[in-house]
Structure 1
Amino acid sequence: MLIRDGFPGQRLRVLPRPRVAEALAAPITRRMLVTDAGHFPHAAAHGRDRPRGAEEVVVILCTGGAGRLEVRGDEHPMAPGVVAVIPRGEPHRYRADPRDPWTIWWMHVTGGDADDLAAAITRPSDDFAPVLQVHDPYAAKSALEHALVSLERDETVASLVSASGAAWGLLAQLAADRARGANQAGDPILAAQDYLRENLETTTGVAELAAIAGLSTSHFSARFRQASGMGVVEYHKRLRSARARELLITTEATVADIGRAVGYEDAFYFSRQFRAINGTSPSGYRAAFRDRSRPHD
């Protein structure tokens, strides 16, 4: 028999339905509202079966033990560091492992942003993917705990907005992780992006990056473009431009020196590349920033 709640040491908060209705008619919380949140440690025999889905988006982070989620005819194992995001109205069932029951942090969220972010995370299509490995489980757990603590405090606007902010941040990060196409720590595309970020002053070819990632050049290029929305050359160019903008704002270095610092030996070529991205020359960018920062009468 499955148990919904009542576990030793559990924490649980559920907003009353009238308060939910009020919050969904108010600014901010109508876009993202945490209606339920909890922490179930070592939740033996825990599980739910929702043939019609839930009224809200369900988010479950496993931080210990194991369990499984069944949705659209597929079974997804849940282990520490794995998060499940189940869109509103999606039929599903989940349960803790009978021999090694999971410990979970969870929340239910509703509102327009909740639905949009859930869709971005799960990709509701032929490759529907309701679970993913969290890159920073500690941050994910902290966000869920923040939402729960806010509801535990009271049901004022301030507390509901605080919970909404934590929920939005977590879902946005999960959507970003999914958009990058990285499903686990140590993903080779993330490693390649980090390598480019740390080596702005050198030019690294696609073949060299593919070798670092352990992929063929064609496979690497396709995965990089899918994760970044652009090719390697354009991605590196934009990283260099971002660093150049920082140096133009925070230092007195010449344009030529800044160009060399981000990998351009030719100052004129650097200026052309900078203008193509920023719509102005490096010196024009610096002057415009200083003008905006100068006190006006």
Structure 2
Amino acid sequence: MTYAAVVRIREGFPGQRIRVLPAEVVRTASADGLTSRLLVTDAGYFPHALHHGRQRRHGVQGTIVIFCVSGRGWCETSAGRVAVTAGEVLVIPAGVGHVYGSEDSDPWTIWWMHVRGPDADTAVAQVCGGTTRPRVLRVHDAFRLTAELTRVVELLETDETMPSLVRAAGTAWSVLAQISADDLAGDPERAEPVRQVRDLLRQDLAATVSVSALARTAGLSTSHFAALFRASTGGGVVEYSKRLRMARACELLITTSRLVSEIGQSVGYPDAQYFARQFRTVHGCTPSEFRRRHVETPEALDA
């Protein structure tokens, strides 16, 4: 790695924000409570960070998360070099030696944080396929991720009390969860047709489910659409629709006194017996049994 010879490290950038917890605060927060599972130790915002970069031959104790809002950057490790562009997040696991920097021709603007703890390690291992190499992922909702990272910085800027650190940890977990969920959903451009179809299925639970018709709606071949849907949701279209219908049926069974047959019709099952069989495959009991188990009667409350 020849980073030090080609990149100059500036001390600061106009409009930057940065917070680093003192070592004693980190030791105390890491010892007990929620922050022992996940702790944000550093966080900040670097706008138009010309000549920005860092070299850490042995990495850092925590995981580094860098979200590129605009511009471009790069990261190099023993596993190779990766580019980072606007709308992408760079995740560098704890202890991984690295060099990263902003492209001089198009300097990046970034929100970033360092997190440590077993919960952070678990999330990062899932995203990175282990803890030995970095990963660059394209996010699906840049505005939401920016808002959450902004909140992390704001909380550390407030003070270093445990309430602020716990709130920052919760927000950081939301960041890691969003990154992981986006990774599971796949490339946002490929996932968009699937998202649109999922919205359609939720909007009209009683509508007939035709995979070929939904594929046409998405502008894809049936086989391609089915493969994308399975990759994004972990299952097929029909099974996904059934799960949505049964979730709504459960809600109606608990919160209304409507007949079971009426509830079945409202979620797309005009045949009451077929509805009961499908319900059993998901919940292991009939709709009537489910209602008896979950609806508390006045007598039960008195007891």
TM-score, normalising length from structure 1? 0.89
Residue 7, structure 1, aligned to residue 13, structure 2: yes
Distance (Å, rounded) in 1 between the aligned partners of 2:20 and 2:232: 37
User: 1:272 is matched with which residue: 254, 277, 281?
Assistant: 277
Aligned pairs for 1:187-198 (under 5 A) are 187-198=192-203
Q: How does 1:209-248 map to 2 (within 5 A)?
A: 209-248=214-253
What RMSD over aligned residues (CA atoms) do the two structures have, in Å? 2.4
1:64 aligns with 2:76: no
User: 207-216 or 263-272: which moved more?
Assistant: 207-216
Q: Alpha carbons of 1:185 and 1:211: their partners in 2 closer, same or farther (altered >3 Å)?
A: closer
Contact 2:65/2:90 (CA < 8 Å) preserved in 1?
yes
CA distance in 1, matches of 2:131, 2:165: 32
* Helix, strand or coil at the partner of 2:35: coil
Q: Distance in 2 between matches of 1:28 and 1:281?
A: 40
AA in 2 matched with 1:12: I
Identity across matched positions, percent: 49
Cα distance per residue 1:153-211 (max 9 Å; x no partner): 22111111111000001111211221222444862332332232223212222333333
1:77 is matched with which residue? 84
Distance 1:98 1:292 in 2: 69
C-alpha distance 91-57 of structure 1, shift in aligned 2 (>3 A): same
Q: Tell me how far 1:111 sits from its aligned partner.
A: 0.5
SS of the residue aligned with 1:29?
A: helix
| Contact 1:182/1:189 (<8 A) preserved | no
Give the AA of the match of 1:150.
L
**Helix, strand or coil at the partner of 1:187:** helix
Shift of 1:283: 2.6
Q: Distance in 2 between matches of 1:48 and 1:4?
A: 10
**Structure 1 pair 259–12 and aligned structure 2 pair: CA distance change class (3 A):** same
- 1:195-214 map, 5 Å: 195-214=200-219
| Aligned 1:14-163 pairs, distance under 5 A | 14-71=20-77, 72-79=79-86, 81-124=87-130, 130-163=135-168
Distance 1:207 1:129, change over 3 A: farther
Alpha-carbon distance in 2 for matches of 1:88, 1:24: 15
In the alignment, structure 2 segments of 5+ residues that lack a partner are 1-6
Q: Deviation digits for residues 86-126 of structure 1, max 9, x if unmatched?
A: 21122332222213322111100001110111122223499
Whether the aligned pair in 2 keeps the contact of 1:182 and 1:190 (CA below 8 Å) is: no
C-alpha distance after superposition, 1:192-235 (max 9, x if no partner): 32232223212222333333334443333333223222222211
Once structures 1 and 2 are overlaid, which stretch shifts more, 83-92 or 21-30? 83-92
For the residues of structure 2 that align with 1:129 and 1:193, how far apart are their CA atoms? 31
CA distance in 2, matches of 1:221, 1:193: 12
Higher helix share: 2
For residues 281 and 196 of structure 1, the distance between their equivalents in structure 2, rounded to whole angstroms, comes to 24
- Name the CA distance, whole Å, in 1 between partners of 2:197 and 2:129: 24
The one-letter code matched in structure 2 to 1:192 is: V
Runs of at least 5 residues in structure 1 that lack an aligned partner in the other structure:
none
- 1:124 to 1:7, Cα distance in 2 relative to 1, 3 A: same
> How many pairs does the alignment contain?
295
The answer to whether the Cα contact below 8 Å between 1:135 and 1:185 also exists between their aligned partners in 2 is no
Q: 2: distance between equivalents of 1:89 and 1:266?
A: 59
Q: Secondary structure at the match of 2:235?
A: coil
With 66-75 and 149-158 compared, the bigger mean Cα shift is at 66-75
Q: Between 194-203 and 100-109, report the one with greater CA deviation.
A: 194-203
Q: Please say which of residues 26-35 and 178-187 is displaced more in the overlay.
A: 178-187
Q: TM-score, normalised by structure 2?
A: 0.88
Aligned to 1:263: 268
